Structures are given as structure tokens and as C-alpha cells.
Amino acid sequence: MRTEEASGESAPGAPGASGAGDGGTTAPAPRKRWPAGKTIVIAAVVLALALGGGAFAALWPHATSIGSEAGTAVRSQPGAVFPVVQPATAVTAPVADATEVNPAAPVTVTAKNGTLDNVSLRSSTGDDVEGTLGSGRTVWTSTGQLTFNRTYTLSYTTLDAAGRTTTATSTFKTVSTANEADAAMYPLDGMSVGVAQPIQLTFSEPVKNKKAVEKAITITSTSGQTGAFHWFSDTVVRYRPEQFWAAHSTISVKMDLFGVDLGNGQIGNFSKTDTVHIGDKRTAVADAQAHTFTGYVNDQPVQTWPATLGDTRFPSAKGFLVLMEKQRKAHFVAASIGLKPGDPANYGELDVEYATRLTPSGEFIHQATDTALPYLGVANVSHGCIGLGPDGASWVFNNMTTGDVVQVVNTAGDFANFNDGFGDWNIPWSQYANG
């Protein structure tokens, strides 16, 4: 008989084990309970093997293999060995359904937790916008120019580290026509003008962000002259140097106004470069006291002609007046300057020869009328114009041009109003450059 101390529990089928199959009559020994601590240790080992994947499968050949995360739903909690692969997302600029988007701003798609593929940007009219994908394939940026008043569709695919792909689209609208601002420049591109011609920009909408507009415009001259902007209103700005432009120089006006915010939601709609050519320096001096008019070319006097200027009721404007346009024959109407029938100064309507405009309000250099010819060099009898004889008036008409300048001296008249022609040269430089 075995004693309890010497006996040990045998595995089924081992020598000495009792059972129905060995024909023995000894009753089965009672199964011992393992201590609770051993149970915990074994459970921990099994769990570790289970989490170990390959080791567990080797010990338990019938275990089910663990699938790839790409083929399973995204877990909300990280595993001990296989961390969660976050799905890729993307951020777009502008955001989906945005409106009044500045067409100058680049469109971007930025991937998070993944990369980008198959990015496209197309307008509602079917035009594709070019773009580039960065070396890391995480950021796409448009390089083509967008158009005002268009709806654009942005499409892209994201790919995460587990191989999952997601395709998405978003739309946005660019600035509407109502918020599109234009501008016109004078002189026109390629035009040849005189040394006193300022560069003028007239905007279709009021400009509030004036400094932003000035920064977007670069004006250079082959003479090396620099100048300053002066705002005459919220829609009109001019640029000139401190002294007259150098003769035979060329001015380049680069306007990068596309996408510039003028204020109040108004966005500039163009970028271009215009060129203006400066000819000879052609100037003149009209003396209301001496009743003379002297022409100069490149600072050399050409000739002095007798003249008549504005009388005491209609004195000629003083200072520098820039020539604006020429008319071989001009038709004057007294009512246009407020004269009515019965007024001694009312001349009704008349035609004049060789008319060169100085102001929009009606001051010209022209051939004096027959009734004024006897007063040339003697007295001032005009309504503010500079009257010359046929030779003097024709010389101005044939030799002077837009942008040339006449300086009127010794007149009781005031300077022409800032919006009555180009009176820029009558404003002191220190004031002009800070206005």
C-alpha cells in the first residue's frame, strides 16, 4: 500500500493510474485542488501567449490567426501589441461651402494621419486648376489662377497607414461680381506724353485700404526718378516725382492688384504692367501782366507771342496747368460756364481754331476770336482762356502735346481745383508726398 506522502497524482493513462481500462479495482484517487496563486499565474501566461500572437499560435495550432487592421473596423481603444491606426483626415482651405473666397488665395488640402492622392480642382465652367503635391504627399496647393464669380469643386483621396482610402469632395464660391473692383490708368499703355503728366488710377469702387493698394503698385523710371502717391479721393490716386519726369525716359507701372482687398469686401480683379514714354521737355510761360506767351523745348526758348488772358471777372487760373487734349476746331457755349442771355459777358456760341485744353471746366489755349485779336499783347479780355494769334496758337497745337505744361503767372486767379485737370504740380512736394 502507498502512503499519502509517497504517492503523487498521475496523468491519465500513466503507469500506476487506476481506471476502468486496466482491470484494477482500486477506486480513483481524489483530485487535488491547486492553490489559487498557481491558477492566477497560469491565467497570466495564457493571456500573454494570446497577446503574443505567433507564440500562442505555435503552442495552440488550432488558434485563429489575428487579422490585419486594414480588414477590421477601427478600434476605439489601443491594443497592447497592435496600436490603433487612426483614419486619415484632411483639412481644406477654403472650408467647404465657403463664399466670397478671394480668387488670389491659394487652395490647399492638408492630410492628417495619412497622405493625399488624386487631388483635383475644377470650376463650374469645366476649367481645371493646376496644383502641386508636396514631396511628403501631405499637402496639395493650387498654382493656377481662380476666376471671380465661380463655383469650384475640390476632390481628393486620403490614404492611411493601414491602407484604407477615403474620397471626399467640397465646393466653394469665389468673390461675386458685386465685390469685384477694377481700375483704369491714364496715360494709356504705350502712350507718349509730356514731362508733367502724372500717373493716374481711377478705381471703380472706393478704396479704404489705401496703403495696401500703394504697396501693390510699383512705378519705376529709366531715369531712376522716384515719386509719391497722392489720393485726391477714395477712387482717384496719382503718382508723380518731385520734379518733372526726365525727357526721353520710360515709366513702367506694375499693378499687382489681383486679389488685393480694397476694403469693404471689394477685391481687385487684375494684374498688369503698363508702359508710358516721355518725350521732349516742352513747357510754356503765360504772363497775364506782360500779356505774353513764351514756348520752350528742352529748356530752350522757341518764341514769345503776344497773348490775352482772363479779364478781372474771369481771371485765368494760376500755377502749372497740364495740357490735356487738342481739338483743331472747338465749339464754345457760354451757358456751359453759367452765362445767361443779358449778361454783358455772354458770348452765346462760337467756334475757335487750334484749341488745346488746360482744364475740364473749359480753359484752353486757342486762337483768339476776331474781336479779341486787337487786344493781344495789350489787355486781358478772355473768359479765362489764353488767346494767341494764328501763329502762336498753331505752334502750340502742332508742337505741344498731352502732359506738356504751361505756367501761368501774374494772374489774380486761384489755382485750378484739384479735380479740374492735373494740378498736381501746384501742391508742395512735402504735402503731396503725404497725402
Q: CA distances (Å), 317 to each of 144, 203, 342, 415, in order?
A: 52, 28, 26, 5
Verify whether residue 383 is a known catalytic residue. no
State the DSSP code for 64.
P
Q: Which three cell numbers stand for residue 189?
A: 499703355
CA distance 274 to 270: 12
Residues 6+ apart with CB under 8 A from 101: 94, 146, 172, 173, 174, 175
* Residue 196 one-letter amino acid: A
Say how many C-beta atoms besides its own lie within 10 A of residue 318's C-beta: 19
What residue ranges in 182-249 does DSSP mark as E strands?
183-186, 192-193, 199-203, 217-221, 227-231, 236-241
For Cα atoms 112, 117, 120, give the angle at the middle one, nearest 5 degrees. 110
Q: How far is the C-alpha of 48 from the C-alpha of 42, rounded, in Å?
A: 10
CB 410 within 8 A of CB 289: yes
Calpha distance 352→362 (Å, rounded)? 13
Reduced 3-state DSSP string for 407-424: EEECCCCCECCCCCCCCH
Catalytic residue among 230, 291, 383, 385: 385
Task: Give the CA angle between residues 309, 310, 315 to the nearest 5°.
Answer: 130
Q: Which of 230, 291, 366, 383 is catalytic?
A: 366
What is the spatial distance between Cα 102 and Cα 148, in angstroms, rounded to a whole number?
Answer: 8
Work out the number of other CB atoms within 10 angstroms of the CB of residue 401: 20
Q: What's the CA gap between 114 and 122, in Å, rounded?
A: 24
Q: Is 366 a catalytic residue?
A: yes
Catalytic residues: 366, 385
